[in-house]
Amino acid sequence: MKRIAIIAIVLLAGCTRNDQDSKYLRWVGDAEPDPEIDASDFQLCGSEKMVQQYLHFGQGLQYGGEKTALRKRFEEAYRPVETAQSGWIRIRFIVNCQGQAGRFRMIGSDLDYGEQIFDERITDQLLKIAQSLDGWAVLSKGGNPRDYYQYLIFKINNGDLTDILP
Amino acid sequence: MRILLIFVLVVVSASLVGQPNCNAYKYSGDKLKYKACKAVVKVKGHYQFSRAFQEALDEALAIDSTFAYAYRIKSTAYLKSGDFITWKKLMDKAVKYDPEGELFYRASCRYQFFRDYAGAIEDIELLDSLIDYNIGYSQNGDYHLNIIKALSYKAIGKPDESLQIFERQLSDSTHSVGIYDYLHLGVLYLEMEKFSLALRALKQQALENDIAENRYYMAMACKALGDKKDYLENIKLAKEKYENGVKMFDPYVEKMDQIFLADIMDAMKIEGF
């Protein structure tokens, strides 16, 4: 029994060390919690390692009123910004088992897919609207509501919002 | 339809992992690629987003940094998580080392995932210039690449070019009609205010794959032609099909010309339903 326990500890230590040494997190696109930017009242229902991707549920993007309602929220609230900046902005976040969204992360690129920092007047608006969305569906597996990653991609053309994906 | 698509996705995902024929490299004398290919096989059983999957591919690329296939399958998790920056870097490498084999994937993903229409056209035209055989289909099998090119021309505001490509491709005797080809052609005619041609194409779509979208656009064409009876019939059918899940579907993104229930309800409201 003692030997088994020692082997288990060694294996576990090995796994932990490998995980820490790796440049990858559990999954591509995972976001670790960051108390400096994350809302303190946002909680996962399950553990970090159980967070799914929206595409795992095979239903596409699930929002109350469908994509029409989601698009309307941005069309009504976003004000075009006078700038020559164009490209894509992705906001990725987690929707928990109660349909609440949190842990928002953002990346941006120009039209050649090169990393680009957009004008704050654009990103602040998009982030604020994204954080205000309240229609995310609760998605379940085996009858159990799960936490999942969702993302939105915004196409920006000279400061104007021209499309929302996925 | 949705179950079928999910099944196809699973099969396609699995085949992406199990696909490389390492012996082909062995017998062509490319020992390095053979070794890298054998390393890629280690991804089997690992989820494409996972650390183990990504690390196995890094190992393969450390053996042979010109192994295009490894870059492509490494890129997929970034694509599906919306990380266009990393995805494009990886796919640029795949295309650099095997343009003839990898351009189809970069082109169709640029169209499908990022609505990068100019980029998709550029890639498809480049592929066309490199090979003298059929340029083939998108990575998910929904479209021939020439149909993606046509749709991309429409999206960048060049409907005449789009129509020319559509008509040429659909009249090619070797073309296998896609599940949405005639729907998109019908919508294109509709947008060009060629209502009778739109109706004809949409009726053809109904024969191929009768979904909520073609009924909705048929209703719009009938309305424009002043045919109220068929308008009402089609808009009701569109709603029925939509509510039964007989509609366009992509588990990752919204498709071009896809409609939502609100579109149908708005059309019904206008008519005083």
Residues B92-122 have pLDDT tens digits of 999 999 999 999 999 999 999 999 999 999 9
Instruction: Tell me which chain B residues have a C-beta less than 8 angstroms from the C-beta of A66.
Output: 260-262
CA distance B262 to chain A (A): 7
Looking at per-residue confidence, does B21 or A96 come out higher? A96
Whether the pLDDT of residue B205 is over 80: the answer is yes
- For residue B49, give the nearest of A22, A27, A61 by CB distance: A27
Residue-by-residue DSSP string for B240-267: HHHHTT-S---SSSPPTT---HHHHHHH
Dihedral angle, C-alpha A129, A134, A136, A137, nearest 10 °:
-170
Distance of CA B219 to the CA centre of its chain: 26
pLDDT tens by residue, A143-164: 999 999 999 999 999 999 999 9
**Burial zone of B27 (CB within 10 Å; 0-12 exposed, 13-18 middle, 19+ buried):** exposed
Nearest to A93 by CA among A103, A79, A108, A83: A103
The average pLDDT across A115-139 equals 98
DSSP B42: G
pLDDT tens by residue, B138-153: 999 999 999 999 999 9
Name residue, tokens 């196809």: B8
Asked if B260 is an interface residue toward chain A (Cβ–Cβ < 8 A), one would say: yes
Asked if A84 is an interface residue toward chain B (Cβ–Cβ < 8 A), one would say: no
- A27/B51 touch (CB, cutoff 8 Å), yes or no: yes
Dihedral angle, C-alpha B49, B50, B52, B54, nearest 10 °:
30
- For residue B81, give the nearest of A26, A58, A151 by CB distance: A151
What is the structure's pLDDT at B53?
97
Asked if A59 is an interface residue toward chain B (Cβ–Cβ < 8 A), one would say: yes
What is the structure's pLDDT at B269?
85
Instruction: Tell me which chain A residues have a C-beta less than 8 angstroms from the C-beta of B50.
Output: 26-27
Instruction: Tell me which chain B residues have a C-beta less than 8 angstroms from the C-beta of A27.
Output: 47, 49-51, 77
- B113/A166 touch (CB, cutoff 8 Å), yes or no: yes
CA distance B123 to chain A (A): 13
- A67/B254 touch (CB, cutoff 8 Å), yes or no: yes
Range name among A105-109, B18-22, B231-235, B267-271 with the lowest pLDDT average: B18-22
Asked if B252 is an interface residue toward chain A (Cβ–Cβ < 8 A), one would say: yes
* ipTM of the modeled complex: 0.91
What is the structure's pLDDT at B38?
95
Give the Å distances, CA to CA, from A110 to A107, A117, A157, B78, B231.
11, 9, 10, 17, 44
The per-residue pLDDT of chain A, averaged, comes to 91
Give the Å distances, CA to CA, from A24 to A4, A55, B54.
30, 21, 8
A87 neighbors A146 (Cβ within 8 angstroms): no
pLDDT tens by residue, A9-67: 444 444 444 567 899 999 999 999 999 999 999 999 999 999 999 999 999 999 999 99
